[in-house]
Amino acid sequence: MADRGAEDTWDLIVTPWHVDEYIPAFPMPATATRVTPPDLPAGPAAARMSLLHQAALGAVTRAARPLVLSGDCPTTRAVVAGLQRRHRDLAVLWLDAHGDFNTPAISTSGYLGGMALAMLTGRTPDLFDDTLGLNPVPETNVVLADARDLDPAEREALAAGDVRRVPADPAAITSALGRLGPVPVYLHLDIDVIDGAQLPGARFPSGPGPSLAQIEECLSAAGAATSLVGAYLACAWLPEHADDRSSRHTMTRLAAALGAELAWPEPDGG
């Protein structure tokens, strides 16, 4: 994939799992590279996730400009680790209804999917092994958009840290990215940032929020304002809804706002 050429071309990659759960029905665009999940041993979820992330790292490293479609947020570890092999400095734009800034010490649920941004910024040092070679992203290089649904301790951690918080608004995002200077940007979007009424079958709908059209505007603005060297769509629908027509439609529109076309194979039977 790495020799495809044009800087505006996206290399589509699919990681069909949520945390450590394989999702057989995860939709697969016709031109995407599918990361085959390795056989996972019984044991703690974090150890199983490490094996999945190692598999994803290989695909990301071979991609010139990865756009990852995934069923969760934590696999972002593999994408950032891969991008860091080519970009010493990297900024992160994170659009999410949640902060994903929990850690094992403050989480009330222990849900690892709610710790993904904390993982990137080095706040979970003992959760995984270091096989990815991931370097913590400085919090001053992180822009968190929306995050309307926060746990109390998570809210306090964000307030005490250096992550820049902005609304999911194109002008606010453009301004925040401009303050970072000419640094390459990795864009991460969890579909639950979209108003819950527009997300049938989502795992974690978060009630009223920006519309799909507003989020499309945010993605387009980010792409126009900075150099996007990688992107990630966390498509966290319930497994039985992952391949719904409405789910594919949402993924297609979000990818198009980034300048990528998702071509879906014809269903069996024509």
Residue 220 falls inside a structural domain: yes
Q: Residue 7 has what pLDDT?
A: 60
Residue 26's φ and ψ, nearest 5 degrees, are: -60, 130
H helix or E strand, kind and range, residue 58: helix 45-62
| CA distances for 29 relative to 39, 67, 94, 108, 222, angstroms | 23, 12, 24, 36, 24
The pairing of beta strand 17-18 with beta strand 21-22: antiparallel
Using alpha carbons, select from 257, 87, 121 the residue that is nearest to residue 189. Answer: 257
DSSP string over 114-134? GGHHHHHTTS-TTTS-STT-P
CATH number of the domain bearing residue 224:
3.40.800.10
Instruction: Give the chain's domain count.
Output: 1
64 is a domain residue: yes
Residue 105 forms part of a structural domain: yes
pLDDT at 268: 52
Best CA proximity match to 76, nearest among 96, 57, 103: 57
- Domain for residue 5, yes or no? no
Contact in structure between 20 and 40 (CB atoms under 8 Å): yes
Beta carbons of 126 and 47 less than 8 angstroms apart: no
Distance CA 125, CA 145 (A): 24
The Cβ of residue 64 has, within 10 Å, a number of other Cβ atoms equal to 17
Does residue 263 belong to any structural domain of this protein? no
Q: What is the pLDDT of residue 3?
A: 37
Report which of 244, 190, 246 is spatially closest to residue 71, judged by C-alpha positions: 190
Question: Residue 97 is encoded by which pair of tokens?
Answer: 């209804």
Per-residue tens of pLDDT for the chain, all 270 residues: 333 344 679 999 999 999 999 999 999 999 999 999 999 999 999 999 999 999 999 999 999 999 999 999 999 999 999 999 999 899 999 999 999 999 999 999 999 999 999 999 999 999 998 899 999 999 999 999 999 999 999 999 999 999 999 999 999 999 999 999 999 999 999 999 999 999 999 999 999 999 999 999 999 999 999 999 999 999 999 999 999 999 999 999 999 999 999 999 876 544
Domain annotation covers residue 60: yes
Interior/surface letters 72-99, b for 16+ CB within 10 angstroms, e for the rest: bbbbbbbbbbbbbeebeebbbbbbbbbb
Residue 1: inside a domain? no
Strands (E), the chain: 11-15, 17-18, 21-22, 33-34, 66-70, 91-98, 142-149, 164-166, 185-190, 228-234
- Asked if residue 113 belongs to a domain, the reply is yes
Q: Which residues form the domain of 237?
A: 11-257
